[in-house]
Structure 1
Amino acid sequence: MSSSLHPDSLTRDELRRYSRPLLIPEWADSGAQERLKAARVLVVGAGGLGCPVISALAGAGVGTLAISDGDTVSTGNLHRQTLYTTADVGRPKAETAAARAQQINPYVQVQVLPALDAGNALHLVRASDLTIDCTDNFDTRYLINDACVAAGQRWVWGAAGGLEGMVSVFGPTCTLRGLFPDPAGAESCDSIGVLGPLLGVIGSLMAAEALKLLAGATFVSAGTTLEGTLLTYDLMNARIRRIELRPARQTAALSKSIL
């Protein structure tokens, strides 16, 4: 989290809106809701994972949601990308998702950003308190990895395809490049398919990790995050596994074009 983060007080309307999480002692007593209101989150990718993440964080009361995606809505997206309707086909995902997030919670400031690339990755990451990788290709995932490593920030990562998904929190010692140094053979939903609920589960887990990180050390001290841990979910067998990751250096040089 940025050291410049200063919790803001909650209005009477916000206290009513967030009354249920504020009934949880660990959440209320740690000032988590106020910290959430003061936070800025970068969500890269407004597709199958981005939709549940954006919905959850908007509803939870993240102060500023910055959404980066250069794609448009297609008919094939609709079974799993729940922020969109048939009428949205052909519209930019980032703009449409931002409008829906604003409808969910008018107290959230929503910003539409261009697609993340080598020229803007480091700037977008540094301008945010937390980055959430909801993308579906390794080129962009590695850019996010490299920008977050260069900025010295943790980030939330998730992936899903077919009937299985994964979630983790990466940081200085455990990175995406350390877990997947060579993505050769990696497949996407476009080639292996996916069931919509799987993305809802993985996206919700990603949003939960983001909320814990944003809530601050006092709240997290009551539990733990997935930093240094890979959580896998097997939809077909309803099985969840936790795999501890070994700390490792970056296995490849940072993308020089972002530095």
Structure 2
Amino acid sequence: MSGAPTLSRSELRRYSRQLLLSEFAGGQERLKAARVLVIGAGGLGCPVLAYLAGAGVGFLRIADGDTVSLSNLHRQTLYTQADVGRSKAQLAAARLQQVNPYVAVEAAPALSAETAAALLGGVSLVIDASDNFGTRYLVHDLCTAAGLPWVWGAAGGLEGMVSVFGPEFGLRDVFPTSEGAESCDEIGVVGPLLGVVGSVMAMEALKLLTGQPDVLTGRLWTYDALSARVRVVRLPDRTSAAT
């Protein structure tokens, strides 16, 4: 791949297990060259960030303005009790650098209309690991306007879902309103559910970044933790639905 960054011997050893896979053998340089914005460093963001850093995604920007609270610790695995009250984005960035020193990580403020331009600047993929529809709809609007793809996930109670959006079809097309949506603060959540959903989000991101053909674009992956039932639902095409 012309102009792609080269891998050192140490990096080749580090990524040797995923390089054994034919689907990813030619994509490690693409991962190293990738620049990804992850919105949210909470229950979903923690596994997403850990796996993307471990896989060798070259630049990760973490947008989160929150601090660690005691009730986060059963599911937000990048943090410890000593971190309560400290910035999630800064802590996550420091932990990821310890996981993989070959990855550049930037702590950034939460996504808003004011911070959007700086946060989206220079990235080729956005991962929406936020926990509220206000932010999710803002991600939809910004990524659609910028022509960027994004990986979206949500989890609460005992259920989770993941999809890949943009730029022609996004969250607003699937969930035009947030009516009936409840937060984890209201309905609760079991910790491992976030690990499952976040891992699927990370996998979809790696597939996008390495050019794999079968991503969840136009489909919604759903998971019921209590029954262990997984379904993949094809989403209606916006243009065909209008005819």
TM-score by length of structure 2 reads 0.95
Residue number among 148, 153, 175 corresponding to 1:153 in the alignment: 148
- The counterpart of 1:90, out of the listed 85, 89, 105, is 85
Runs of 4+ in 1 over 6 A off after TM superposition: none
Query: Residues of 1 paired with 2:28 and 2:49: CA distance?
Result: 17
> Are 2:6 and 1:16 equivalent residues in the alignment?
no
Query: Per-residue deviation at 1:122?
Result: 4.1
Distance (whole Å) between structure 1 residues aligned to residue 144 and residue 22 of structure 2: 34
Q: Does 1:137 align with 2:149?
A: no
Contact map agreement 2:144 2:168 (CA 8 A) in 1: no
| Root mean square deviation of aligned Cα | 1.2
Q: State the distance in 2 between where 1:96 and 1:133 align.
A: 19
CA contact under 8 A between 1:121 and 1:144: conserved in structure 2? Answer: no
Specify the alignment match of 1:54 in structure 2. Answer: 49
Shift of 1:153: 1.2
Secondary structure of 1:20's counterpart equals helix
Q: Provide the aligned length of Structure 1 versus Structure 2.
A: 238
Q: Is the Cα contact below 8 Å between 1:133 and 1:156 reproduced in 2?
A: yes
Offset of 1:171 from its aligned partner? 1.2
Could you give the per-residue CA deviations for residues 154-203 of structure 1, whole angstroms, max 9, x where no partner exists? 10000000000000001133210011111022101010000000000000
- Mapped to 1, the partners of 2:159 and 2:148 lie a distance apart of 27
1:214 and 2:219 are equivalent in the alignment: no
State the alpha-carbon separation in 1 of the partners of residues 45 and 176 from structure 2: 24
Q: Secondary structure at the match of 2:208?
A: helix
Contact 2:63-2:119 within 8 A present in 1 as well: no
1:130-170: CA deviations, max 9, x gaps? 00000001111111111100011110000000000000001
1:126–1:91 Cα change, 3 Å: same
For residue 127 of structure 1, report the CA deviation from its aligned partner.
2.1
| Alignment partner of 2:107 out of 99, 112, 121 | 112
Distance 1:126-1:227 versus aligned 2 partners, 3 A rule? farther
2:236 is matched with which residue: 246, 249, 252? 246
> Which residue identity is paired with 1:55?
A
SS of the residue aligned with 2:209?
A: helix
Q: How high is the TM-score relative to the length of structure 1?
A: 0.89
Distance 1:121 1:143 in 2: 9
Unaligned runs of 5+ in 1: 250-259
Mapped to 2, the partners of 1:176 and 1:88 lie a distance apart of 33
Specify the alignment match of 2:172 in structure 1.
177
Residue ranges of structure 2 left out of the alignment (5+ in a row):
none
CA distance in 2, matches of 1:235, 1:90: 30
Partner of 1:226: 216
Q: Percent identical across equivalent pairs?
A: 65
Q: Paired residue for 1:257?
A: none
Distance (whole Å) between structure 1 residues aligned to residue 118 and residue 46 of structure 2: 23
Counterpart AA for 1:97:
A
Is 1:63 the counterpart of 2:66? The answer is no
Query: What is the distance in 1 between the residues matched to 2:156 and 2:74?
Result: 14
Query: How far, CA to CA, are the matches of 1:183 and 1:149 in structure 2?
Result: 19
Q: Pick closer, same or farther for the CA change 1:6–1:119 going to 2, 3 Å.
A: farther
What is the distance in 1 between the residues matched to 2:168 and 2:161?
19
**Contact kept in structure 2, 1:133 and 1:144, CA below 8 Å:** yes
SS at match of 2:16: coil
Alpha-carbon distance in structure 1 between the residues aligned to 2:184 and 2:4: 39
C-alpha distance in 1 between matches for 2:17 and 2:164: 26
Give, in angstroms, the shift of residue 120 of structure 1: 2.2
CA shift, 1:21, in A, is 0.5
- Deviation for aligned residue 1:6: 4.5
Alignment of 1:75-86 (within 5 A): 75-86=70-81
